[in-house]
Amino acid sequence: MKSKVDAVDLMILRELRNDCKRPMRELATKLRMHPNTLLQRIKRLEKSKVIRKYHADVDYKSLGYDMHAVVMIKIKKSGLEDETLLKDVSALPEVVALYAVTGVSDCIAIVKAKNRDDLVRILKAVQSQVSVLRTTSYLILVTYKEAFEFNPLSNILVKG
């Protein structure tokens, strides 16, 4: 069942997306709402799974993960039906994201590694999967925008 989301909900989502640790009173003041109304709306958004989780933005580079790569994965013809392939690859802790895609490759893995040896170990683990035919890796040299920065709600105006 799809949840009804109105303009006020979108403003709440935009603000939570920008800073989910902001005190409720401060957020209510900014949105010109009563704090209880705000809290009820947030709970409804959580219950309806519009808000799925709250995240911390961790700087993994400061934790030693200096290598960031995109790994294109070509799999056997029946590979996409093999759910264990995706589970085994996605279970690797260094795999940030894993997508089934159209085009030359069948899957794309976004990987963070501490160094070249670590990346080689991860690539070997991916390549060891029965369904994997080959991988093509691209090292990310410069990041201009991270996935967590995606916020299409940023152009929604605060009422007032």
CATH architecture of 62-139: 2-Layer Sandwich (3.30)
Strand partners, 67: 113
Pair 105, 73: CB distance under 8 Å: yes
Q: Quick check: 6 and 139 in contact, CB under 8 A?
A: no
Region 99-113: mean pLDDT is: 93
Q: Is the pLDDT of residue 160 over 60?
A: no
pLDDT mean over 129-149: 90
What does the pLDDT read at residue 70? 98
Domain ranges in the chain? 7-55, 62-139
- Tens of pLDDT along 12-45? 998 998 889 999 999 999 999 999 999 999 999 9
In DSSP notation, 11-61 reads: HHHHHHHH-TTS-HHHHHHHHT--HHHHHHHHHHHHHTTSS--------GG
Domain 7-55 has CATH 1.10.10.10: yes
Using pLDDT thresholds of 50, 70 and 90, give the confidence band for residue 52: very high
Does this model's pTM top 0.95? My answer is no
